[in-house]
A and B are shown apart, each in its own frame.
Chain A
Amino acid sequence: MTKLRKVYFITAIAFLGILAISPLKDYFSEWRAVQRDYNRYIEKLPQKVKPSPLVLKQIWVSKLNRIDRCITCHTGIDNGKLANAPLPFRSHSQIPHDIATFGCTICHNGQGLATNYSDAHLPSAFWDKPVLPARYLESSCGRCHINENLKFTPALNRGRQEISELNCIGCHDLFGGYRKSFIPSLNGIGNKVVNRNWLTHWLKNPREIRPQTKMPNFILSNKEVEILSDFLMSFKSFSNGVKLDSLPEIYVKNKDDDNFITLGKTRFSEARCISCHAVEDKGGHLAPDLAKIASKATAAWIFNCINNVHLLQPGVEMPQYGFSTKETAAITAYMESEFVDRDSPADTIAVHQPPANFFEQGIALFNQYNCGGCHDLSSEKVSLSRGPDLTAIGSKKTYQIDFGKTNIPHTLYDYIDAKIRSPRTFGESARMPEYQLNKADNQAITAVLLSCQNEPLPREFVRTVPPPAKFDPQGKVGKIIQKYSCLKCHTINQTGGTIAPDLSVVGSQLQQKWVESYFKVPYSLRPIMEERMPNLFIAEDEIETLTDYFYKVLVDDSLSMENGWDNSAEAIARGQGLFREKYGCQSCHIVGGNGGYVGPPLDKTGNRLQSGWVYHWLLNPQKYKPETLEPHAGLSEAEAKDLTAYLMSLKSEK
């Protein structure tokens, strides 16, 4: 019996010892050590910082149903004195949100409930939302700020723009009101490209022919390329049954004449084609590079395109120039002579005979890769086979993802990033093409996709900015604006491009005479700017209609000048004094041949601007154009009036 008692005694002691492990583990937990480190750290600081009591701390955000214990270790999070402290004691950078009402994990992810480093930050079998790396952090902004482009979120804004430009919505359902951007229709492509050879090269890898193209590489097999080329070459007629006009006689006769080509070249540069089209990377990037266009498109297509691009490509943003047939033919001749790819492989096969069932095979491939998601093609057999719905991709659980044979870390953001970078690595059957984006763009798109989540957020947290109402002028004016694609560069009522000035209240800003003359000979207002409005060769009656519209509709009544303002010689003199002495405007603006190059020269202000506009602008430039460099000088109303009087007196003699 004594032996048995000994056994009892020893096991009882052993059990007690084992039981003691648990409270000891509690006592020596990681967060207590961190808080002790913190208290030791702040003692060494020159400024006085309150030590932290050794307790667990948490932020309870009841509206979001979240408890974040991050501040247990991130002790100095709201202490401005610790801006330069090492992590985890450092204070949070300036943000527009209150940490106490938002908590931490709503933006940073991670396991807010955890109280040790690895569980709180890293992915594990029990938590698949690890702390977001800084490069994707903006995705959290996008969860609440829906459609809202904030100045704090450059990557998110960039990603949204990329998604819109790459037309991801062609295949995927996405949240955020993306609109389809212009993508060329494939109708008539058989009559557009010079030969089938070009098409096969293009389909194999579009970036090889034009590095800036938005078309991704579908990594097609040679057989698929052949079939698709045959299939596409069979589409000879353009949208709405339009056929190419044959080249005019004047072209056929003169196409090799040097004078004729020179005329084309002159018109080409007068029309400022390179504002949008680059030629060998010199010029704008709004439209395709023209350096090799003659090796791609037939002369007849080029001629028709310049003549009336909207017939061949409905919806294209290229303006339709008012050239005569002779001028158009001359430009065609110039392009045919100049913009040739000297290295392009010759079409080796003289007559290519497509296989018997090329159309069925071709349409099958066309539908399989969902080409119709982007390109318009008039065939009854085109059907959409869209990719996965991505409206809640950011809420996808890690266990739902098939990582295949890749060795990337098993997190959602790594998956999305890798999927966009090389879509086919997760399985042979994937159809998604390769976009070959740079790292920053890839991450920006990933951030946007991560922000697409279906976890419901309280109403007061979410800010949805409705997409701005689209300005869509109708009638005669609408037709002209569409014909010259004014809104590609200019904005009217929040619709349009940002390259050129906003025209929403142009009728209250500029003088009618000046506008009319500017349409005829556009020039750059700023001497250092290369871009200027192209000469669109707008017809007289169209100019009349447009200016009529400008001065009847695009006006802001609040910009008119009060009656009886003083434009006497004294006022002008006072204004000149203010200009030269008090405000030193000449440091940025040129008047009479001297001055700076930042702002536009003001020599002809009196011919160009309306006094009411000048006056209101001077009072508060940022009110009208928030990003303008012009300082808000805080002029008094009397000063602004005198300055206006002076500026309006600056006229050319004519």
Chain B
Amino acid sequence: MDSQFWRSIFRTRLPIKTNLDRSLIIFNSLAMHIHPVKVRERAIRFSYTFYLGMISFFLFVALVVTGVLLMLYYQPAIPNAYNNMKDLQYVVSNGIFLRNMHRWAAHLMVITVFLHMLRVFYKGAYQRPREFNWVIGVFLFLLTLLLSYTGYLLPYDQLSYWAVTVGANIVKYVPVVGKSIRFLLLGGNEIGEYTLVRFYVLHCVILPLMMTSLIGLHFWRIRKDGGLY
């Protein structure tokens, strides 16, 4: 347990004897260093935070995992996109499970992120010194919604087509730049193959990267701003 090899991988020396050893486990672990060294017991009670932030995060992880698997079967092209949905449903092993999991996790994430905000708001957890983390949280909420919206077009069925039509038309009413934003979003003046590619890249690359970065920042700020409130 004390070999060069073990030490090169795990930084903590075993066995754990003192409180310092215990805290070192936390410090030295990538997954756990997010926790403060000391946590008040009431803060980890279910009724304190309802675990809403963590549930949202785990849903995001589930979405990334299922999403990457779905990407293996998906082409952002017409009419292949819709046919790929059919393939997932009828021929890919557990494909429909994968797709449903992605879909339900996305719906649930919107709900849990929203409830998380409610909890933070009513607890007054947005107050000093956590004001900026609230701002990051708002951006995270917006990203969640945008991910939902961009993912909606990808099956390319009637529902998604019209949802995006409506969405894009709402964007058009932004003063001055509305039409340009719409053009940018759709990759043209009407929904077509380029829109599909644009939404695909947004949904699978740009927005998830922004999301991951902001989640990291959000978690880091929780620690630095004094733990859970």
Query: Does A23 make an interface contact (CB < 8 A)?
Result: yes
What's the Cα separation between A126 and B82 when bound, in Å? Answer: 10
Chain B nearest Cβ from A169, distance in angstroms: 32
Given contacts A126-B157, A399-B158, contact A69 B97 (CB under 8 A): no
- Contact (Cβ within 8 A) A22 B94: yes
Binary B-proximity of A418-462 (CB < 8 A = 1, otherwise 0): 000000000000000000000000000000000000000000000
B4 beta carbon closer than 8 Å to chain A: no
- Min distance, Cβ B176 to any Cβ of chain A, angstroms: 35
In the bound assembly, the distance between CA atoms of A126 and B160 in angstroms comes to: 12
Number of A-B contacts (CB under 8 A): 28
- Report which of B83, B87, B94, B157 forms a contact with A26, defined as CB distance below 8 A: B94
Within B142-189, which residues are at the interface with A (CB < 8 Å)? 157-158
Given A23-B94, A26-B93, A69-B91, do A114 and B158 touch, yes or no (CB 8 Å)?
Answer: no
* B6 at interface by CB-CB < 8 Å: no
> Can you name the residue of chain A whose Cβ is closest to the Cβ of B98?
A22
Q: Which residues of chain B have C-beta atoms less than 8 A from A399's C-beta? A: 158
Contacts of B229 in A (CB 8 A): none
A126-B157, A399-B158 known; A113 vs B93 contact (CB < 8 Å): no
B44 to chain A, nearest CB (A): 11
Cβ–Cβ < 8 Å partners of A23 in chain B = 93-94
Given A22-B94, A23-B94, verify A113-B158 contact (CB < 8 Å): no
- Secondary structure of the B side of the interface? helix
Contact with B along A110-123 (1 / 0, CB 8 A): 01011110010000
- Residues in B with CB closer than 8 Å to A115 are 90-91
CB neighbours of A65 from chain B (8 A):
79
Q: Say whether B107 faces chain A, with CB atoms less than 8 Å apart.
A: no
Q: Does B7 touch A at the CB level, under 8 Å?
A: no
Given contacts A67-B83, A113-B86, A126-B157, contact A56 B93 (CB under 8 A): no
A22 to B87, CA, bound (A): 16
What 0/1 readout, one digit per residue, does chain A (609-632) give for beta carbons within 8 Å of chain B? 000000000000000000000000
B90 touches A22 (CB 8 A): no
CB-CB contacts below 8 Å: A261-315 with B: none
Q: Closest residue to B100 on the A side, CB-wise? A: A22
Find chain A residues with CB under 8 A from B94 CB. Answer: 22-23, 26
| Complex CA–CA separation, A21 to B158 (angstroms) | 30
Q: Bound complex: CA of A26 vs CA of B97, how far in Å?
A: 10
Q: How far is the CB of B113 from chain A (nearest CB, A)?
A: 22
Please give me the residue from chain B that is nearest to A113 by CB atom: B86
| In the complex, residue of chain B having the shortest beta-carbon distance to the beta carbon of A126 | B157
- Name B93's closest neighbour in chain A (CB-CB): A26
Q: Say whether A22 contacts B97, CB under 8 Å.
A: yes
Instruction: Say whether A113 contacts B157, CB under 8 Å.
Output: no
Q: Is B91 a contact of A56 with CB atoms below 8 Å?
A: yes
- Shortest CB-to-CB span from B155 to chain A, Å, is 10
Residues in chain A within 8 A of chain B (CB atoms):
21-23, 26, 56, 65, 67, 69, 111, 113-116, 119, 126, 399
- List 27 interface pairs A-B (beta carbons < 8 Å), by A numbering: A21-B97, A22-B94, A22-B96, A22-B97, A23-B93, A23-B94, A26-B93, A26-B94, A56-B91, A65-B79, A67-B83, A69-B90, A69-B91, A111-B86, A113-B83, A113-B86, A113-B87, A113-B90, A113-B91, A114-B86, A114-B90, A115-B90, A115-B91, A116-B90, A119-B90, A126-B157, A399-B158
Q: Shortest 4 CB-CB distances between A and B: which pairs?
A: A22-B97, A113-B86, A115-B90, A22-B94
